Amino acid sequence: MASQGPAEASSLVPPLVRLARRGSLLIASDFDGTLAQVVRDPRRARALPQASRALAELARRTPVAVISGRDLANLAVQCRVPGAVLLGSYGLEPWLNASPADPLPMTPAPSQRLVQLAKHLEELTGWLPGVQVESKALGVSVHYRNSPEPRRVGPTVRRMVEQLAAGEHLQVVRGKLVIEVRPPHSGNKGMALAGLLDRLQPRGCVFAGDDLGDLPAIEELHRRAPEMELALAIGVLGPDSNPQLAEAADICLTGPAAWAQLLGEVAAGLRSPA
């Protein structure tokens, strides 16, 4: 699917506004690379201000959800959107972010198995400059974005991680310059989106994502499309995007700023008289 320019993306606004006015449009989005720019230190990522403002405004009229592979406690700090449902760990940790004053959720401590796995991965990758191991409540990620030569190092990192995961019977999730291992059958964004659709029963849904981990949500949305008036999968493309994302998406936008702009236009449309 070719990338859409501002004019083409703006043509999507009227049907989205119509459903949002009825409170029957589910707006679901990934976080990293979609609402926030991908940065060298993941702890410094924040949703673009325009995206945060638009989502908070939209959440007063229609359901809004952010589905991320991040721990929920981490996501809640970096994506404070009043009224939105935040789903961390690929949907295994849901939380209604009703107010900025709400206490932040606590992330459960990782299992001893994951602690040992993270330590093992640190030992395996310690000789590779710029490669970082991130422990999560329900998984372990190995980032090689900050390597001096990420594309050369990538195959080595992926091979080591996949071999270890196979021996431990763990699930592997590839992303943009990152690879994650998790316990088997630990869910995905498709299952998270399915749960939201089952609970909310919206007449329309738009989902935006930027990476391979978002493909299950796009596939689930396409599976549910006959049940809805509108089902729109948006690929938010960046320099390291996998071609599979563009092929799966209904439309593609260039970077988080374009997605934030579209959200802002929908919010503005809701402010206008019907």
Residues that are catalytic:
30
Handedness of CA 264, 269, 270, 273 (dihedral sign): positive
Distance, CA of 30 to CA of 125 (rounded, Å): 28
Contact 80, 59 (CB under 8 A): no
Strand locations in the chain (E) = 25-29, 64-67, 84-88, 93-97, 132-135, 140-143, 171-175, 178-182, 204-209, 230-237, 251-254
Distance, CA of 176 to CA of 196 (rounded, Å): 26
User: Which element (helix H / strand E) includes 190?
Assistant: helix 189-200
